[in-house]
Structure 1
Amino acid sequence: MAQGNSISTDAPMQQSASGEDMRLGMSLNDIHMSISRAFHTMNNTTRPCARSLGLGQGQPRILSYIAVHGVSTQREIARFYSIDPSAVSRLLDSLERGGFLTSVPGRDRRTRALDITEKGRHALAAWEDECRRVDRIMFRGFTSEEEATLRDMLERVRKNMADELEAGKKHE
C-alpha cells in the first residue's frame, strides 16, 4: 500500500555518473510530476464549468487569446501556447461550429483569421469568473508575495522549456 509522498526503498537502484540516486519511480515525486498533478487537478476542477458553457478542453484558452490579441491566425495561437497547429485547427473548428468564433478565410486553413463572437465573449466572461474562483482556492493560505513568487517561477519554468523546444527545432 502506498503511503504519502515517499518512494519505497525497495525500488531497483542505479547510480548516475554524478552519483545521483536513480531509483526507478523517483519521477513520481519530482517537480515535473508536481506540476503535472497540480495542472490535472486544476483541470478537473474547472472542467464542469467549461462543459456547462459548451466548451471543451483547451477551448477557453483559445477564446482568451483572441479576446486579448484580437483577430488571430492558427499559427499565432499555436506559437503562443507551444502546441501543435493541427491541434489548434481542431479547437478552432469546434469553436467556430459552436458559434464562439467567426473566421475570415485566408490563403489556406492555417492562415484564416479568427475573431471572437458575442457568444464567445459571454462564455469567456463566465469562464474567467470560474478561473478567479479556482485561483482563490489554489492560493488559499498563500501570502501575496508567495503567490507572486510562484507565478514568477512558473513563468521562468515555462520560458526555459519554450527555449529548449525552440533550440530543438533549430537542430532538426
Structure 2
Amino acid sequence: MSEAPKPAGIGDYVLSESVGYLISRVRSTMWNMVTQHTSSELGITGTQASIMFMLAVGKCATAADIAREYGIDASAVTRLIDRLEKRGLLSRVRSEADRRVVRLALTEDGRVMAEQVPAIFTSVLDNLLAGFTPEEVGFLKNMLRRVLANSCDSAAALALNANDKPATSLR
C-alpha cells in the first residue's frame, strides 16, 4: 500500500514558479505603468482612466456595471464616480424609463480624455511585450482566455475573443 503524496508545504512552495503569483505581478506592474502615464498625461489615476474608457466603449453604463467589472464594492465605485463628476468628466443621468436606474455619461471633456486612453494602454503593453513575436502574443491571449473560461466566466472569455484585434496585435 503506497502513501498518498503529501501536499506541498511552505518550504516546498517556490513563489517565483507560481502562475498565480506571476499573473499578479504582471498585473501589478502593468497597472503601475498605466497609472504613471495617466497621472502625468491626463491628471487622473489608471482606474479612473479605465472607467472612462469602459463608459466610452459602452462596456459599462452604471455604477453597478463598474463594480461587477472591476470586482470592487459599490461604495468605492461611488467615490470614483464622485471624483470624476467633480472634475467635470462624467455626469449621472437618471433613466426616464426607470427612475431607479442612474446611468453614467461622459461629458465632452471626459470623452476627449477617454479617447487618449487606448494609446496609453498600447504604449504600456508594447513596452511589456517587447521582443514577443505576434504568434507569442496571440498564444498568450489564447492561454489567458482559457484561464478565464476555466473560471466559469466563459461569457467574459467569449467577449474578449469577439472584441479582440487580430492575433498579430500587441494590444
TM-score by length of 1: 0.72
Question: Does residue 82 in structure 1 map to residue 71 in structure 2?
Answer: yes
The reply on whether 1:122 has 2:109 as its aligned counterpart is: no
Equivalent positions of 1:52-67 (< 5 A) are 52=40, 53-67=42-56
CA offset digits 1:52-101 (Å, max 9, x no partner)? 31212411221111111177111122223333222222211111111111
Residue of structure 2 equivalent to 1:47:
35
> Partner residue of 2:89?
100
- What pairs with 1:33-44 in structure 2 (closer than 5 Å)? 33-44=21-32
Show the 5 A alignment for 1:1-172. 18-24=5-11, 26=13, 28-29=15-16, 30-52=18-40, 53-69=42-58, 72-105=61-94, 107=99, 111-161=101-151, 163=153
**Unmatched runs of 5 consecutive residues or more in structure 1:** 1-16, 164-172
Amino acid at match of 2:129: F
Task: Give the CA deviation at 1:119.
Answer: 1.3
* Corresponding residue of 1:170: none
**C-alpha distance in 2 between matches for 1:68 and 1:23:** 44
Contact preservation (8 Å) 2:60, 2:66: no
**Secondary structure, in 3 states, of the residue corresponding to 1:64?**
helix
Identity of aligned residues (%): 36
Measured in 1, the distance between the counterparts of 2:24 and 2:93 equals 36
| CA pair 70-24 structure 1, distance change in 2 beyond 3 A | closer
Count the aligned residue pairs: 145
* Structure 2 gap ranges (5+): 154-171
- Structure 2 Cα separation of the partners of residues 60 and 152 of structure 1: 26
CA RMSD of aligned residues (A): 2.4
Question: Partner of 2:132: helix, strand, or coil?
Answer: coil
1:109-157 alpha-carbon deviations (Å, 9 max, x no partner): xx31111122112222222211111111121111112111212222332
Partner of 1:7: none
Output the amino acid matched with 2:44: L
